[in-house]
């Protein structure tokens, strides 16, 4: 591994926000493109860091990607229940893909969850089209939980997020 995994610093928030926004935009993951309201959330790393732990992969002074780790009961949780941690907004810069950055970031979250007293599972949401991510999660032992799939925009019935969990 030619990169390190660590907590993001405030001076990296802007860079990570752009990496995350560009990853979602370029991969076609925002239903409304540049006009998608979620784009602002993806860019607002400072807001996430105030409510959860933001973890980055870095090499040679550059941020390669990041993820938001929400400990059990954290305010940034979308689907986590008591005793569960949640992974959110995983993104890797296009030029850093294929180097194991995404897997290392997910592993860092799993390790953090294991250190949280009473945490029994790690959960996450993903889009149907994120097939590479699905393969990563499944390879790491996450299992699909279709009974927890959900729609973040109930007024639009064609948006459904798939869910996964890993029992610790």
52 φ, ψ to 5°? -155, -175
Q: Residue 130: how many CB atoms within 10 A of its CB?
A: 17
Q: What is the pLDDT of residue 157?
A: 63
Q: What is the pLDDT of residue 35?
A: 81
- Are the beta carbons of 129 and 28 closer than 8 angstroms? yes
User: What does pLDDT average to in each consecutive run of 10 residues of the chain (168 residues)?
Assistant: 94 98 88 82 97 97 97 90 97 96 98 97 94 95 97 76 97
Q: Report the distance separating Cα 56 and Cα 30, nearest Å.
A: 22
- DSSP secondary structure, 42-72, as one string: HH-HHHHHHHSEEEEEEETTEEEEEEEEE-T
């Amino acid at each position: 591994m030619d990169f390190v995994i660590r907590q993001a610093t405030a001076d990296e928030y802007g860079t990570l926000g752009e990496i995350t926004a560009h990853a979602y935009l370029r991969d076609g993951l925002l239903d409304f493109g540049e006009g998608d309201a979620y784009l602002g959330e993806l860019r607002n790393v400072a807001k996430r860091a105030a409510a959860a732990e933001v973890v980055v992969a870095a090499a040679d002074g550059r941020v390669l990607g990041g993820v938001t780790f929400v400990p059990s009961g954290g305010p940034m949780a979308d689907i986590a229940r008591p005793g569960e941690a949640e992974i959110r907004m995983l993104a890797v810069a296009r030029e850093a893909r294929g180097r194991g950055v995404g897997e290392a970031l997910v592993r860092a979250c799993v390790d953090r969850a294991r250190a949280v007293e009473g945490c029994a599972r790690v959960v996450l949401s993903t889009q149907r089209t994120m097939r590479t991510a699905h393969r990563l999660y499944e390879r790491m032992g996450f299992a699909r939980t279709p009974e927890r799939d959900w729609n973040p925009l109930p007024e639009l019935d064609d948006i459904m997020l798939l869910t996964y969990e890993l029992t610790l």
